[in-house]
Structure 1
Amino acid sequence: MSFTLVTGCKSEKKTSSENIHQDTITTNTSTGIAKDADSQKQITKLPVIDTITVLHAFKNATITKQFGEDVNYNIKDELSGSIFDSERPILIGDLNGDQLDDAIMPFTIEGRDGGNNWDAHYAIFINKNGKLNYQYSFNRGADLAETQTFFKSIENGVVKGVVEPGFHYADGESTPVSFRYKNNRLSEVPATSKTK
């Protein structure tokens, strides 16, 4: 199935002597590839990365061997605990500088070994041609951890957030942190270079 999109037309009445310029783009909706009718250039339209896309990618990642190894989780073993992905915010933005939206998905694993403790992580996804590929899980703290990391935004390739005291360490202070994605991992940006 294809359709033609015509742009550049004005609603006012034209005389026969006026030159009407129309830009015509034909798009094949089954492939998402568009062709400019005048130049026959192919314009690839990539899928939009939104919350539903991230949740779908996360669900697929949780059943992979790599995910299990990253967070010591076996989806078939009841004592591995239960994954909860209802936390927010899910962050969407360019992490690796390729002008495509990547994603960071927060989740927790609760009830390991039948207990009531939990550990928290961020699943990191990189966009490859419109598809989110799971990279690894960033450990952001646990029930008994001294500190926990909370990411708030992705701005110009920098993940900004805060490190807060753990639930059992109320005397600590919150500290702003920034991370960059490099060498397939999030690395903290030293405080002296955060403004550069």
Structure 2
Amino acid sequence: MGKNLKGKECGKGIYQRKDGLYSARYYAKNSKRKEKYFETLPKAKNWLADARYEERHNLIVTSPDMTVDKWFEYWIENIVCDLASNTKRNYQERYKWNIQPVIGAMCIDDVKPMHCKAVLNRMETTYAGSTIRQAYITMGTMLKSAVMNDIIAKHPMNGVRYTKPVRAVDDIKYLTVDEQEKFLEAAAQSRVLASRTT
């Protein structure tokens, strides 16, 4: 058992360093040592208990060669699984059509800001600003979750900016009253024609 600077026992896998931080560590199933530092003993104990629980129950395999695809699959099924179905669908669509083709096969640890920016740049000419923003949010949320779960050390979206403006309300054209009446007449006419042919 490790000890703090005063010689008091901290618990198995935890000790206090000379700089005052508490080191919590354990060996994963692949024999790789996992270690993290904390300012307080309770935080170190909580992290160690959670990490051992995840390891024991195979909640996620955090191998050095984990791909973005593998993380997205875990993230969508286990971390954001309680979101509204529309939100999940938006995440899945933006990932499949825009994010996956660029970074899906990459090792998640190798993803840099330039790769994230490349996803957005490829969308510039063919997608509306609102759709690009959805991809930006999906990628940012997914990768931030990877940082929070100790899959990666640094958020690869840091410094990545989204600049294409979403269409302003005054850019949207509304039908005049006259145009609305013509539209309703045309819709009624087409309904009448449709009912005659059936």
Q: TM-score, normalization: structure 2?
A: 0.27
Judging by fraction of residues, say which structure has more helix: 2
Q: TM-score, normalization: structure 1?
A: 0.27
Judging by fraction of residues, say which structure has more strand: 1
